[in-house]
Amino acid sequence: MSKKHRAYIPIVGSIAALSLSLYMKDLLKMQLTTDEKTAIYNGNIILQPNSKILAITAHPEDLALFIGGTLKHLAKRNCDITIINVTNSKKGVDLTNLTQIRQSEQTKAANRLEVKDVRFLHLPDLHLTKIKDIEPILKNILLDIKPDIIFAFDFLYPFKALKHPDHVSIGQMVHKASSVLKNTKCQIAFYASCKPNSIVDIVTTLEEKIAAVKCHQSQLRFGEDLCERGIRRFAKYSARHTLLHYGETFRLKKI
Ligand SMILES: [Zn+2]
């Protein structure tokens, strides 16, 4: 792939970037760091019933895309799930009222996944690296919710094709803020990781995941078909070193 294409991918949005990267030369380079049995065991730690879950994202569509199948499992297991959308998501496509559109898309997607608590922090897009006061906001949320599992973007080993500055900043900030939960049983499940140690079988939740991603209509630059094929291919790619058909992978880490 040319340098021009590489530079382009991070700004077309995660859904398009992911779909494209799977059709290009293995841009994700994801490799399980454990054997299959351990990865499945770790995946089951994430799926504990009746637990408190906090899923944090820079941009609305990233959650359905990376953890939609897992969130659906957790909702079915009676977990108490909160989604935090950090940015106002004003940038990306040329639409007026983009913030409101993406907020409404996220609410629809969360409904598909049976998540009721969806919050928006409305911080500016692409400026997170400059925002110093987000850490206390995140700490307050963490202390209020006291989650068992936090989902956040992997800042240490992100997918090359999706190394958006907001993704990396948010992952870093969540990791830093999570120090307030030291000495609790809380763990962070980093998503979009090149070096995952956990896998969740999403064969029974894949269709709902696809439906949730499609709720983000403003982000489907290349249409629903490519998006759907991209998601199926990604789920297959994620499970490729296991006996599972479709998976979502995480780097699970104690605080
Ligand atoms: Zn994103």
Q: What is the dihedral of CA 213, 214, 216, 222, to 10 degrees?
A: 110
Helix (H), strand (E), coil (C) string for the chain: CCHHHHHHHHHCCHHHHHHHHHHCCCCCCCCCCCCHHHHHHHHHHHCCCCCEEEEEECCHHHHHHHHHHHHHHHHHCCCEEEEEEEECCCCCCCCCCHHHHHHHHHHHHHHHCCCCEEEEEEECCCCHHHCCCHHHHHHHHHHHHCCCEEEEECCCCECHHHCCHHHHHHHHHHHHHHHHHCCCCCEEEEECECCCCEEEECCCCHHHHHHHHHCCHHHCCCHHHHHHHHHHHHHHHHCCCCCCCCEEEEEEEEC
User: From ligand 1's centre to the CA of 243, what distance in Å?
Assistant: 29
| 229, 19 Cβ separation under 8 angstroms | yes
| Cut 0.95: pTM above it | no
User: From ligand 1's centre to the CA of 19, what distance in Å?
Assistant: 14
User: From ligand 1's centre to the CA of 48, what distance in Å?
Assistant: 27
User: From ligand 1's centre to the CA of 76, what distance in Å?
Assistant: 26
User: From ligand 1's centre to the CA of 37, what distance in Å?
Assistant: 31
Range of the domain at 75: 3-254
Q: What is the pLDDT of residues 58-84, one digit of tens each?
A: 999 999 999 999 999 999 999 999 999
Going by their DSSP bridges, the two strands 52-57 and 149-153 should be labelled as parallel
Residue with tokens 């709902």, as numbered in its chain:
208
CATH code for the domain in which residue 210 is found: 3.40.50.10320
User: From ligand 1's centre to the CA of 127, what distance in Å?
Assistant: 13
User: From ligand 1's centre to the CA of 89, what distance in Å?
Assistant: 9
Q: What is the pLDDT of residues 134-144, one digit of tens each?
A: 889 999 999 99
pLDDT more than 90, % of the chain: 65
What does the angle CA 227 – CA 233 – CA 237 come to, to the nearest 5 degrees?
Answer: 140
User: From ligand 1's centre to the CA of 18, what distance in Å?
Assistant: 11
User: From ligand 1's centre to the CA of 253, what distance in Å?
Assistant: 22
- Number of structural domains the chain divides into: 1
Q: What is the pLDDT of residues 81-117, one digit of tens each?
A: 999 999 887 665 555 688 889 999 999 999 999 999 9
Ligand 1 (single-atom ion) residues, CB below 5 Å: 14, 59, 62
Please give the average per-residue pLDDT across 216-220, as a whole number. Answer: 87
User: From ligand 1's centre to the CA of 168, what distance in Å?
Assistant: 10
